[in-house]
Amino acid sequence: MAYPARVTSPQDEPKTQNLFTESGYYEATDTASTSMLSDVEDRPSPPVNRYHGGIDFGLLVLRLVLGAILGAHGLQKVFGLFNGPGIDGTARILESVGYTAQPTLLAWVTGLSELIGAVLIVLGLFTQIGAAALLGVTANIVYVQWHGGLFEPSGFEFELLLAAVAFTLLFTGSGRIALDVNTPWRRRPVPFGVFFLLIAAAAAVVVIVLAR
């Protein structure tokens, strides 16, 4: 008994392709490749403001530690807390290391830079401004203690580490756990980091040239 020839309709083609695909011997045609590429292109890109887990937590730790250390030094200089020297004592210290021009004014600038910069860093608010302020202060300390060598007690290794953390935060931004979350300088930290690095460098040079 003869059977009538089976005519393949367009509706049967997806079924045939699925059959071959499941067998493991099916090779996609150019049309299928084009379809796959279009699917990839149509797929939404991940959000810029997404949470990065360990990276954001690590940046929070860096901010808290840097802010706590330099914020405490700022409180010592401005208010004399934690057995600090206060403004007058800080001015005398600055004079003793060569900052003889307007030491009282420079003591205020140094103490407030540490204090305000630390608060901004801890909150993650205008992070690059806070990091630039702290970098300018620590860069000056490194310059003063350069003759003492790298290692403590008279070296600059500790201040260099603090400066490196501030420098890092200039280019990484605050991370996701901060008040800067929805700001352009957190989404694009590098150009803002370069800008505020130039400001920090200029401020450090001005202080060294004019106050010593």
Q: Sketch the domain layout of the chain as residue ranges.
A: 55-211
Secondary structure of residue 65 in the 3-state scheme = helix
Amino acid at 180: D
Phi–psi pair at 155, nearest 5 degrees: -85, -175
- Taking the whole predicted model, whether its pTM rises above 0.85 is answered as no
Instruction: Compute the distance between CA of residue 79 and CA of residue 76 in angstroms, rounded to an integer.
Output: 6
Residue 33 has pLDDT above 50, yes or no: no
- Report the distance separating Cα 36 and Cα 30, nearest Å: 10
Cα 153 to chain centroid distance, Å, stands at: 30
- For residue 26, the model assigns a pLDDT of 42
Average pLDDT on 170-182 reads 91
pLDDT surpasses 70 at 190 = yes
The Cα–Cα gap between 4 and 7 comes to 9
Quick one: what percent of the chain has pLDDT higher than 90?
A: 66
Distances (CA, A) of 10 to 14, 23, 175, 182: 8, 21, 54, 51
pLDDT of residue 48: 52
- Which are the contacts of 177, defined by CB distance < 8 A and separation ≥ 6? 56, 57, 59, 60, 124
Determine the pLDDT at residue 186: 85
Average predicted confidence (pLDDT) for the chain: 83
The reported pLDDT for the residue numbered 29 is: 47
Q: Burial level of 46, CB count in 10 A (0-12/13-18/19+)?
A: exposed
Q: Helix 103-123 to helix 127-144 angle, to the nearest 10 degrees?
A: 140
